[in-house]
Amino acid sequence: MRKNFVYPISFLLLSLHFAFLLLSIKAGDIFGNEPYGVRASLMTVLAFVLLSAAVAMVAWKNFSFPAGQTSIVALLSISGFFALYLPLQHFIGYTYTLLIISAVLFTTIGLIASYVPNRTVEARSCTKIEASPFHTKTEALPCGSIRRPWKNPSLILVCVAFLALVEELLLNSTYAGVGLSLALIALISLPLSAAVFSKGDIRVRGFLEVSGLVFANRVVLSAFPIKFLALPSLLPAIYTLVLIGCILYIAYRGIDLNYLGLVRGETPILYQVLAGLLTGYVLGFVEYFVLRPTPIITVSLLRSLVYLVAVMMVFVGITEEFLFRGLLQRTLEDTLPPWQAISISSLIFALMHLGWLNPIEIVFAYAAGTIFGLMFYKTRSLITPIIAHGFGNVILYTIVLFF
């Protein structure tokens, strides 16, 4: 009997990721001249296991659902990535060349795994009329036209994924100007190309238009001088502009807010909030060992905590979940099986983390994106993924303040 549960899957992914980290550390210094030391004491491991178990137990019954091959996609991408990454780093070392190889392999594996035949594709019932995501009130397309798959979505999806890959690699290299230009071209050309490739299909048009919005958070960097990029006000400024762009697009297309997950959802609010906080705590704890970042702001502890909660919860959490889950994943779900929609949106979400120049962070971001996508799919609300995403970042940078 096939049983897929979001939190057992999350627990498995995070446990495997943690195990890979320990094995990598034991194998040697994987980051060249920078020692990658983790004090994996018995208490630390025990705390991680207990927190993960608590997350699994709290929402086991409330978040159970058939997720197709989402877990298989995630596991294939992670295991395949490390199977290639670990031997390569031994010969090549942690360099930008390795990042390119790792990112290309990860993207390729993710795309291939997303199209592994699914024997249990979930059929969508036509017992009730589903409105088009780009129309409100009573307008709706015929049931068959909503659920009929694209004739050939693979080419468009692959092109968008590799466009994001190339743009991020260039943006974080010595050719940052070229990467920024490519992001600007994507922002303009993808929505315009919808008129050519959609052929009247609003689902294709919606995906291309939303894909253009994904590149907006890179294009807005050009609006600020170089000195401004290091200021604490950078993140609020960037995400405010991206959020405004999303809101304007939604208003222009007249997209129903319920469709985007701006509702209470089908799960009690208390369970959603609690699940989001617990998941965010675990994700932030694990990501700290992945990144070991520097503090965003160095002022008093109280002011730093207030800044982190405001910026990470309100700006980063809301904007990114609104864009990647509410718009991108939801648009893909109208055409693809849920596990494919979650995988593709998580893959693009992971590529947007290339700026850390850390291949492991790409894998972690994909696993986290998968968790957020599963939460959104089950609850049909952005409440849980927003809290998990934002609180995870708060925990990450709070730990940095003390170590």
Burial class (CB in 10 A: 0-12, 13-18, 19+), 104: middle
Q: What is the pTM of this model?
A: 0.78
Contacts of 372 (CB under 8 A, 6+ apart): 321, 324, 325, 346, 385, 388, 389
Task: Calculate the alpha carbon distances from 176 to 15, 171, 180, 314 in Å.
Answer: 35, 4, 6, 28
**Structural domain tally of the chain?**
1
Instruction: With respect to residue 20, please indicate whether it lies within any of the assigned structural domains.
Output: no
Instruction: With respect to residue 356, please indicate whether it lies within any of the assigned structural domains.
Output: yes
Distance CA 403, CA 399 (A): 6
Does pLDDT of 328 surpass 80? yes
Instruction: With respect to residue 45, please indicate whether it lies within any of the assigned structural domains.
Output: no
Domain hosting 99: range is 69-402
With b meaning 16 or more CB within 10 Å and e meaning fewer, what string describes 9-26?
Answer: bbbbbbebbbebbeebbe
Instruction: With respect to residue 108, please indicate whether it lies within any of the assigned structural domains.
Output: yes
Tokens of 173: 């290299």
Burial class (CB in 10 A: 0-12, 13-18, 19+), 242: buried
What pLDDT, in 10s, does the model give residues 243-281? 999 999 999 999 999 999 999 887 889 999 999 999 999
Task: Determine the pLDDT at residue 109.
Answer: 79
Task: Determine the pLDDT at residue 71.
Answer: 56
Instruction: With respect to residue 58, please indicate whether it lies within any of the assigned structural domains.
Output: no
Does pLDDT of 145 surpass 90? no
Instruction: With respect to residue 33, please indicate whether it lies within any of the assigned structural domains.
Output: no
Task: Determine the pLDDT at residue 2.
Answer: 43
Instruction: With respect to residue 37, please indicate whether it lies within any of the assigned structural domains.
Output: no
Does pLDDT of 139 surpass 80? no
363 φ/ψ angles, rounded to the nearest 5 degrees: -65, -45
Instruction: With respect to residue 41, please indicate whether it lies within any of the assigned structural domains.
Output: no
Nearest to 334 by CA among 272, 260, 403, 240: 260
Task: Determine the pLDDT at residue 224.
Answer: 67
Which has more pLDDT, 283 or 109?
283
Distance CA 41, CA 45 (A): 6
Distance CA 104, CA 169 (A): 10
Which has more pLDDT, 185 or 100?
185
Distance CA 344, CA 215 (A): 16
Task: Determine the pLDDT at residue 88.
Answer: 67
